[in-house]
Amino acid sequence: MVLEYDFDIVTIEAGETDPKSATSGDRTVRALFRDDRAVEALRQTSPKIRWIFEDAGFGLEPIDSNVAHGYYRPRDAADRERILRALFANIRDMGVRGEIPGEFDLWQFLDDVKTARPIAEEAREVSPSTQMPQYSAASKPKRRSIQGRIGLALGLAVIVIAILRYLAAAGSTP
């Protein structure tokens, strides 16, 4: 079973402050996995691995998110990087050798973190009076399918043969 290890950064309210949450300036944040199965797999790991993640700022509850797999919100980039640095420092300092990861695949987690990209920023609302004119880029013609290319080549060949026969019948040579 392949788990998705995508996570979102969530701001914790002042009354809900968790000592294991990461503090970012004037707010406290946590990283929450989007996949329920990834959260459950992390819960099933050895206590040391679980503590390494929690100490870095990961929570053990899932979050519903509308962000696609492999992407994260650009506004979360700084907090995301800070939490991941803390996680990697914990792994480096404490090590995970000999620990039981269960179904939580640390290598797949690292791969998902490495390949994750920020989603495109939402278009900002601009009033029509200040909006710059939009110029469409020169669009490239669509590439024809292989059948279309073959048909075009055969059509041109037929035209060339017809012209050559006409010239031959008229007594001219090309």
> Using one digit for the tens of pLDDT, what is the confidence trace for 96-137?
888 888 899 988 999 999 999 998 854 444 444 445 555 555
Q: What is the mean pLDDT of residues 152-169?
A: 89
Q: Are residues 48 and 101 in the same domain?
A: yes
Q: Does residue 31 sit in the same domain as residue 111?
A: yes
pTM (two decimals): 0.62
CA distance 96 to 42: 13
- Are the C-beta atoms of 83 and 76 separated by less than 8 Å? no
Check residue 78 and give its pLDDT: 92
Q: Is residue 47 part of a domain?
A: yes
Per-residue pLDDT, 22: 53
Residue 97: give the domain boundaries: 7-118
111 within some domain = yes
Domain presence at residue 1: no
Quick check: is 165 in a domain?
yes
Report the amino acid identity of residue 135.
Answer: Y
